[in-house]
Structure 1
Amino acid sequence: MTELLTELKKISLELNDNAINFAQKLIQTPSISGTEKDVADLLLAEMKRLGYDEVFRDDMGNVVGIVEGTKEGPVIMYNSHMDHVSPGDPNNWEGYDPYGGEIDICKVDNQDGEEEEAECIHGRAASDVKGGEAAQVYAGGVLAKLKEQGYDFKGKFIFTGVVQEEPAEMVGMNHLIDKTFKEEGIDYDAMVSSEATSLKLYCGHRGRVEMLATVYGRTSHGSAPWLGINAIYKSMPLISKIKDELYLSLPQDEELGQASLSLNIIECSPGALSIVPDKCMLSIDRRTIPGESAETALDEIQNLIDQIVSEDEDFKADVKVKTALEKSYTGVEYEVPKVMAPWKISTEHPFVKAAVSALEELDEPVKYGYWDFGTDASKTAGIDRKPTIGYSPMQEQYAHTPYDKVRIDYISRAIVGNSAIYLKAVEAGKEAFEELSW
């Protein structure tokens, strides 16, 4: 693979300035969830320009680009999302335009979180995920140039840019894999996510379940509260049990850390000053680890409810998984549960070891990590059980902040790294694509 890597590095260097300019364009193009069309258009045009064999947009607005290898082999999906969160108050951006894509030399962390100076691109989504998106698109471009120059390689490189990752219901990714891929006759064997990893190999994250527990009472006039049953007061034993019993009993995963639970919103109804409330709604954010699910999380809350009912005949409550209605920029709608599956892949899995081998051949440091937040890998790894890793130039600590930026040197290294990981993985044999288990 030495000659191939030498040529890969040469092509990456030739394309580097264009890749950085493209990352700037992506950052300069607003694409808050549900408004990703302009970024989708940019991605499609760039992949065509780079010589991808096939480029298309599905009915939900996801984009797909395919580089065909010269021989049969595995299909590896490189995935990014096209949406981003609001930039918030521009006054917090320390003089940078959130959509400016400005390049300068600034203080920024290295892989180990130590501050140093490097050239960066600033702006919303620079670290989540447009810097990594540009690197993935250009990794496919490098492979297309290799083939154009007569080099052989196996398999199929697929870049996918999906809509609406930020709301955390995986609607774009689910639609892409379960509907679009099936209609197009596409299957995939593994996935590389562009979510922020600081050029480390990320190997999993906790899942997420959003639940709504509703405690019921009875209204009365606020001047005569003894005639009603105050749902807020009735919710207090449940809140106490969640905080003092359930939270303390949650399990821990050796790699992913502690399962957690947070009561984040309390609302009441009717919500008028002179009316004793007959409903108190508790919104609960539950982070799960492998072995847990939405069902087990619901059962935990239901068990607490049942305990209180046995002690208080007036206590009435229920719990359910929250849902959301998501509509894409093309008009496709889904009502979906607010659930993301936990997942992890062993650092000894052959797909990870292939990625390690590729980075080692490039003289890149090999370090591992796990995300604190959730990603669309909950679909590929958590549900489909396909080998999945994260590899990206972006850094997690800048995501969703007014200090959003991405290192230019990391983008350049990620283009080479992504291309090399693909070439090494497709030669790794069937065991590299074994189903995940935990």
Structure 2
Amino acid sequence: MTELLEELKKVSIELKNDAINFAQKLIQTPSISGSEKDVADLLLAEMEKLGYDQFFRDDMGNVVGIVEGTKAGPAIMYNSHMDHVSPGDPNNWEGYDPYGGTIDICKVDNQDGQQEEAECIHGRAASDVKGGEAAQIYAGGALAKLKKLGHDFKGKFIFTGVVQEEPAEMVGMIHLIDKTFKENGIDYDAMVSSEATSLKLYCGHRGRVEMLATIYGRTSHGSAPWLGINAIYKSIPLISKIKDELYPSLPTDKQLGQASLSLNIIECSPGALSIVPDKCMLSLDRRTIPGEEAQSAIKEIQELIDQLASEDEEFKADIKVKTALEKSYTGVEYEVPKVMAPWKISTDHPFVKAAANALEELGEPVKYGYWDFGTDASKTAGIDRKPTIGYSPMQEQYAHTPYDKVRTDYISRAIVGNSAIYLKVVEAGKEALKELEW
């Protein structure tokens, strides 16, 4: 294995410049959610160039690439999303074109959050997730080159680029695993996400449930409010209970932190100045920890509603999970609940240990972390219970900001790191692929 890792280092160095150029090209290609076709085309062309054994686009627009090992073994999925959020006001980018992909030397954080000078690529999605995407594509390319040079290794390296991760309903990932994989006879045993980790191993994040509470009143003319029931006023006791009673009582996870609840949008209907509103809608963002589900989050609000209704005969309200209609660039549509499952994997899990051993053998520091935001790993780990980690050259603090950038030295280290993690995990075999429990 040591000899194979040494050869891997050489191959990765040879691929470095092409990988950085490819990351730059990805950043220069806009791919806001629902318009990922051009990036998908780039990914497919690059996989062909790098010698992937299979590469294709599914009916939703996701892309899949496979590098077959020379021996039977586990299938490890390396996953990235192809979409990104809007760059916002270009004037906030301090001289950088959001789609310019400019490369320069600048001040940037290291793994410990301390600033130093390093070469970076600037632009929207550099840190979410095109820098990590390029590193994953080229990790597969490094394995393909090792095989071409006559080296043996087990298993199956699967790269997947999915659509529409940013809206946070996992539609691309769910379609990929539950439909595309099944139709093509593909299975996977574990997953490595390219979401930003600063070359650390990330081991989980909280889930998310978006809820809509509707409080009902009765309209009247604005000049005679006593003839109506103002739904906004009726919402105030519920808001107070959510803020002062429910939120402080939410549980905490040692690694992921406290479950949370945030009131982010208030709307009313009919929404005219001369009419007392008969509906007030509260959009609630509930972050969950392992052991909590959408149903339990709904139940908590329902209990507050029931309590208020018992105290006030005019109080009427309901609560439900919000849904969204998502349409891919190929025209596939899903109406889906706005729910993402929480998950975590122990640093003592054999999959994590194998990944850590790979990095140690490369001379890389081994550090662990957890995301504040959600990812498509909610499908692989939260629903499918497959061993999952994050490993990426990108840095979370730059995501979705006008300071979006990725270090080129981290991309280079992530190529060999991703490939080495793959080789260690498939060598460990079934022992490293135990289902997650909590």
TM-score interval, normalised by the smaller of the two chains:
over 0.9
**Match of residue 293 from structure 1:** 293
CA drift of 1:429 comes to 2.7
**Match of residue 344 from structure 1:** 344
The two structures have a TM-score, normalised by structure 2, of 1.00
**Match of residue 49 from structure 2:** 49
Q: Equivalences for 1:174-253 in 2 at 5 Å?
A: 174-253=174-253
For residues 356 and 249 of structure 2, the distance between their equivalents in structure 1, rounded to whole angstroms, comes to 36
Determine if the alignment matches structure 1 residue 66 to structure 2 residue 66: yes
Q: What RMSD over aligned residues (CA atoms) do the two structures have, in Å?
A: 0.3
CA drift of 1:105 comes to 0.2
Q: Which amino acid aligns with 2:99?
A: Y
For residues 71 and 327 of structure 1, the distance between their equivalents in structure 2, rounded to whole angstroms, comes to 39
**Match of residue 322 from structure 2:** 322
Q: Which amino acid aligns with 1:237?
A: P
Partner SS state of residue 414, structure 1: helix
For residues 412 and 234 of structure 1, the distance between their equivalents in structure 2, rounded to whole angstroms, comes to 57
Partner SS state of residue 104, structure 1: strand
CA drift of 1:431 comes to 1.8
CA deviation map 1:33-69 (0-9, x unaligned): 0000000000000000000000000000000000000
**Match of residue 310 from structure 2:** 310
Q: Equivalences for 1:372-411 in 2 at 5 Å?
A: 372-411=372-411
CA drift of 1:325 comes to 0.3
Unaligned ranges ≥5, structure 2: none
**Match of residue 269 from structure 2:** 269
**Match of residue 355 from structure 2:** 355
**Match of residue 95 from structure 1:** 95
For residues 263 and 77 of structure 1, the distance between their equivalents in structure 2, rounded to whole angstroms, comes to 36
CA deviation map 1:357-393 (0-9, x unaligned): 0000000000000000000000000000000000000
For residues 83 and 180 of structure 1, the distance between their equivalents in structure 2, rounded to whole angstroms, comes to 19
For residues 264 and 83 of structure 1, the distance between their equivalents in structure 2, rounded to whole angstroms, comes to 24
Q: Which amino acid aligns with 2:139?
A: A
Alpha carbons 2:391, 2:418 under 8 Å: kept:
yes
**Match of residue 86 from structure 2:** 86
**Match of residue 436 from structure 1:** 436
CA drift of 1:179 comes to 0.2
- Which piece of structure 1 moves more, 427-436 or 240-249? 427-436
For residues 102 and 415 of structure 2, the distance between their equivalents in structure 1, rounded to whole angstroms, comes to 21
Partner SS state of residue 105, structure 1: strand
CA deviation map 1:347-366 (0-9, x unaligned): 00000000000000000000
CA drift of 1:226 comes to 0.3
Partner SS state of residue 221, structure 2: coil
Alpha carbons 2:73, 2:429 under 8 Å: kept:
no
Q: Equivalences for 1:91-130 in 2 at 5 Å?
A: 91-130=91-130
CA deviation map 1:61-101 (0-9, x unaligned): 00000000000000000000000000000000000000000
Q: Which amino acid aligns with 1:435?
A: E
Partner SS state of residue 23, structure 1: helix
**Match of residue 258 from structure 1:** 258
Q: Which amino acid aligns with 2:160?
A: T
Instruction: Return structure 1 stretches of 4+ with deviation > 6 angstroms.
Output: none
CA deviation map 1:132-167 (0-9, x unaligned): 000000000000000001100000000000000000
**Match of residue 146 from structure 1:** 146
Partner SS state of residue 320, structure 1: strand
Q: Which amino acid aligns with 2:261?
A: L
Partner SS state of residue 403, structure 2: coil
Unaligned ranges ≥5, structure 1: none
Q: Which amino acid aligns with 1:283?
A: S
The two structures have a TM-score, normalised by structure 1, of 1.00
For residues 368 and 382 of structure 2, the distance between their equivalents in structure 1, rounded to whole angstroms, comes to 19
Partner SS state of residue 167, structure 1: coil
CA drift of 1:430 comes to 1.1
Q: Which amino acid aligns with 2:138?
A: Y
For residues 302 and 185 of structure 2, the distance between their equivalents in structure 1, rounded to whole angstroms, comes to 42
Percent identity for Structure 1 against Structure 2:
89
For residues 160 and 229 of structure 1, the distance between their equivalents in structure 2, rounded to whole angstroms, comes to 53
Partner SS state of residue 77, structure 1: strand
Partner SS state of residue 415, structure 1: helix
CA drift of 1:6 comes to 1.0
**Alignment: residue pair count:** 438
Q: Which amino acid aligns with 1:158?
A: I
For residues 204 and 431 of structure 2, the distance between their equivalents in structure 1, rounded to whole angstroms, comes to 19
For residues 308 and 248 of structure 2, the distance between their equivalents in structure 1, rounded to whole angstroms, comes to 18
For residues 15 and 413 of structure 1, the distance between their equivalents in structure 2, rounded to whole angstroms, comes to 11
Alpha carbons 2:231, 2:280 under 8 Å: kept:
yes
